[in-house]
Amino acid sequence: MTQPSFMDSPFLIDANCLIEPYNRYYNPQFALSKPFWKHLHNLVNNGQVAIIDKVRDEVYGHNCPEVDTWLDEVKSIMVACEKEDGIVEAYGTVLNQVTRPENGYQRTAVREWADKHIADPWLIATAKFYGSTIVTFEQPQAESDRPWRHPKIPTVASQLSVNTESLFAFMQNDGGF
């Protein structure tokens, strides 16, 4: 895999922004979504959006054959997280953030994200390293629910000064969808 050439502030796509559109909006009529997938593919090819290998691994092979095919088409330009020292270093920072008791996470959260196959901490690490914005359907956690059992991307990302936005806000701001 070769590392894509990113713009100054690329966007990184969370796994749920690939799975949810397929499962909720476009399946079984995948043909209706071709403009969405084509535009997203163009954004990836142009370096305006990136997909990390950990997100691909989380999505691939889960009864979304058209998404699998789409991921195969952009595989050569995915970010290979563990091959970039800066991302690996930032990954340690993300895990440390969840580990610190004052940040509001239960031990189960630490165990959940300590699995190297979980894409979320890698996504935040990559965004931190590149100065990217994460596009996700996840919502920040309520302070009243502390201590949190499961980390959520927007909450951890915010604690690390990483921006997030919803897929629909991204699509509206991009204007090409």
> By percentage, how much of the chain surpasses pLDDT 70?
92
- Whether the Cβ atoms of residue 82 and residue 125 lie closer than 8 Å to each other: no
What is the CA angle 126-1-23, rounded to 5?
Answer: 65
The DSSP call for residue 63 is: S
The predicted pLDDT at position 53 comes to: 97
What's at 86, amino acid-wise? G
d(CA 60, CA 67): 8
In this predicted structure, what is the pLDDT of residue 149? 85
Q: What is the pLDDT of residue 6?
A: 58
Q: Give the pair of three-digit tokens for residue 149.
A: 């059992």
**All residues at 6 or more sequence positions from 14 whose CB lies less than 8 Å from its CB, including other chains:** 55, 119, 120, 123, 134, 135, 136, 137, 138, 153
| Cα–Cα distance for residue pair 150/40, rounded to 1 Å | 29
The structural domains of the chain, with segments of one domain joined by +, span 11-80+167-174, 81-163
HSE-up of residue 97 (Cα within 13 Å, Cβ side)? 22
Helices 107-114 + 85-99 axis angle, to 10: 160
Which of helix, strand or coil describes residue 84? coil
- The ranges of the chain with pLDDT < 50 are 1-4
Structure confidence at residue 80 (pLDDT)? 94
- What is the per-residue pLDDT for 35? 87
| pLDDT value, residue 169 | 96
Structure token digits, residue 24:
């909720």
